[in-house]
A and B are shown apart, each in its own frame.
Chain A
């Protein structure tokens, strides 16, 4: 276990170094005065400008500049937004909880329904249930989610009026952002609105998270189905049947436990898919998360925000992948050495 941990740590450090090098190089390609790109509108010639110039090490070699960049990054200094003049790191973390809340909810939906559908399809292989799961997962997998989101808004929000069109919560509620997670914050503000605010937040969350869950759900269902089919034909399933283990236990304990192992890897890959989807979903639903923030930053040519945001997201994905690898080792006994 320690060995795996060490290996993951090495990969983490290497990936981080790689990412920062790439981003540093990309920063060289960005057109414009690097001082202005980093610190917003400073006039050349002023003392402030000269200080910033010094700070970035622009009069020194590229390697020095990179080291300064790394030092800044490690200290959490990702520059300032050229539009709002706020620290990029701070701004990122004000938007980040919204994205996490949305993504977690989406992955929860994807897992519950994806695994369920996959198992159901595998158990009823070659029946109409199986065919239904296969075809709907294929459609889900092929879905352009930005259109899917619009379609659901058209149906549920505009035509049926069941769900709100956009945002995280209605304007009537004044919720103080304590954790940044709306579901928790509305509960923390309980005495003020009782559960009304919480329900409202939940109602806002449903449609975006269904949209975001669509592709991962389809992938998980397909993956679970094929893993389960393979596992169910294994000898140990026969052994369990011969022992008299109930069908329910064979499927949901013996087989699923083994089928989960490849699923964990897929889940790791889905974190990246999920964040890609979050950019689109947040744009459609005006969800104030990092995805929407990044797209807006591009239109405003707010390079420090783009650069810092992507760097943070990449680090986040790498961290998730490392966690998934650890999880994989933890749930797969075959990764353990013979004692």
Chain B
């Protein structure tokens, strides 16, 4: 018998397509992604894009204002700083540090955080309790202060700043992973996998991890923006990257004394930090909305 279809079926899109569609609808997220790509390209191709070496000094062009002002020079789009270095080149090279360092930081924090969170989530009693208490204590110390203390002990400098910020970010991962595991463990599909005889490690990697990926991805984006701000803040306080390193926070702390003489050396690096962090947060918001099935109606 031939079945005549008078009424159309509604196709239900798959998970990825649905996510893709949701994300594309999020105008802010697309804008953030666009800026993030530009910054990424700038940092990867810094040697090609930047007209000068970030440390190169032009003694005849000290504190030259940006090109769009009356006193500006076309050779230096964003002007020069008090040592006659090209601000534009320094910002471009600085993006390498900001993006690269925070990527390393987030990677370290995520690995340790997920591991500890998984251990805490899959175990009970003393181990879970002590991990959670430890994380609570880390959270109780204001993040920057903790980083400062760690640096106070291991000494200032870029690598140490990375460890410090990474340690500060771990507790959030632990909490999210543990809470999600506890939540997922009670669901029927995990019970089914357990009845099939899956052990804990397999349960985590095969059944639970794919399902807690959405909150984890969101947390990564959050950690990313925190890392950028914290690294810049440490640089600003003189505890992170040391001058003449073109790290954005370090540039800011250097140009602080010239805020009235050369305000552009203060505003431009700050705008760079703000746009980068804002882009990441926009993308993070888009990811959260697109990954959250609650809003997917």
A and B directly contacting (CB within 8 A)? yes
| Chain B contacts for A138, CB-based, 8 A | 28, 278, 281-282, 285
Closest to B148 in A: A298
Docked complex: B253-286 residues within 8 A CB-CB of A:
256, 259-260, 263, 266-267, 269-270, 273-274, 277-278, 280-282, 285
B108–chain A nearest beta-carbon distance, Å: 19
Interchain CB contact under 8 A, B141 and A313: yes
Q: Does B139 contact A (CB under 8 A)?
A: yes
Q: Does A161 contact B (CB under 8 A)?
A: no
Given contacts A144-B229, A295-B237, contact A279 B145 (CB under 8 A): yes
Q: A19 to B285, Cβ gap below 8 A? A: no
Minimum CB–CB distance from A294 to chain B (whole Å) comes to 7
Contacts of A30 in B (CB 8 A): 153
Interface membership of B120, Cβ < 8 A: no
* B164 at interface, CB cutoff 8 A: no
Interface residues of A, CB < 8 Å — how many?
Answer: 45
State whether the Cβ of B136 lies closer than 8 Å to any Cβ in chain A: yes
Contacts of B269 in A (CB 8 A): 147
Q: Which residues 172-229 of A sit at the B interface, judged by CB distance below 8 A? A: none
Contact check, A15 vs B136: say whether CB atoms are below 8 A apart: yes
Are B266 and A150 touching (Cβ within 8 A)?
Answer: yes
Chain B residues within 8 Å of A280, by CB: 144, 233, 236-237
Cα–Cα, bound, A146→B274 (Å): 11
> Which listed residue, A18, A272, A274, A276, touches B134 by the CB 8 Å rule?
A18
Q: Within 8 Å CB of A153, what residues of B?
A: 259
Contact B153–A146 (Cβ < 8 Å): no
Complex contact A142–B140 (CB within 8 A): no
Task: Say whether A141 faces chain B, with CB atoms less than 8 Å apart.
Answer: yes
Establish whether residues A272 and B152, one from each chain, have CB atoms under 8 Å apart when the complex forms. no
A308 to B68: give the CA distance in the assembly, Å. Answer: 51
Q: How far is the CA of A294 from the CA of B151 in the complex (A)?
A: 12
- Do B270 and A151 touch across chains, with their CB atoms under 8 A apart? yes
The CA-CA distance from A153 to B256 in the complex, in Å, is 11
B142 partner, pick from A144, A275, A301, beta carbons under 8 A: A275
Given known contacts A26-B153, A144-B229, A272-B140, A150 and B256 CB-to-CB distance under 8 angstroms: yes
CA distance A144 to B146 in the complex (A): 18
A-B contact count (CB 8 A): 123
A1 within 8 Å of B (CB atoms)? no
Kindly state the separation between the CA atoms of A283 and B253 in the bound complex, as whole angstroms.
11
Smallest CB separation, B102 vs chain A (Å): 13
Chain A 128-147 against B: per-residue CB contact (8 Å), 1 yes, 0 no? 00000001001101111011
A82 CB-CB contact with B under 8 Å: no
A contact patch SS: helix
Q: Is B114 in contact with chain A by the CB < 8 A criterion?
A: no
Contact of A273 with B by CB under 8 A: yes
Bound CA–CA A139/B266 (angstroms): 18
Evaluate contact between B273 and A139: CB separation under 8 angstroms. Answer: no
Q: Does A67 contact B (CB under 8 A)?
A: no
A26 pairs with B149, CB closer than 8 A:
yes
Q: Which positions 102-158 of chain B face chain A at CB distance < 8 Å? A: 133-134, 136-137, 139-146, 148-149, 151-154
Contact of B152 among A135, A275, A303 (CB under 8 A): A303
Q: A14 near B141 (CB under 8 angstroms)?
A: no
Check B277 against A142 for contact (C-beta < 8 Å): yes
With both beta carbons as reference points, the residue of chain B lying nearest to A290 in the complex is identified as B145
* B281:A141 contact, CB within 8 angstroms: yes
Residues of B within 8 A of A283 (CB): 237
Measured CA separation A273–B140 after assembly (Å): 10
Given A142-B281, A298-B152, A317-B140, decide whether A147 and B259 contact each other with a Cβ distance below 8 A.
no
Whether, in the assembled complex, B97 has its beta carbon less than 8 Å from a beta carbon of chain A, the answer is no
12 A-B pairs within 8 Å (CB atoms) are namely A18-B133, A18-B137, A142-B274, A146-B232, A275-B142, A279-B237, A291-B145, A298-B152, A306-B149, A310-B146, A310-B149, A321-B140
**12 additional contacts (CB under 8 A) given A138-B28, A143-B277, A144-B274:** A138-B281, A142-B278, A144-B249, A147-B252, A150-B252, A150-B256, A272-B143, A274-B142, A276-B145, A279-B144, A279-B145, A317-B140
The 6 closest A-B pairs by CB, nearest first: A147-B270, A276-B142, A275-B142, A142-B277, A142-B278, A276-B144
> CB within 8 Å of B: which residues of A?
14-15, 18-19, 22, 26, 29-30, 135, 138-139, 141-144, 146-148, 150-151, 153-154, 158, 272-276, 279-280, 283, 291, 294-295, 298-299, 301, 303, 306, 310, 313-314, 317-318, 321
Tell me the B residues contacting A by CB distance below 8 Å. Answer: 28, 133-134, 136-137, 139-146, 148-149, 151-154, 225, 229, 232-233, 236-239, 249, 252, 256, 259-260, 263, 266-267, 269-270, 273-274, 277-278, 280-282, 285
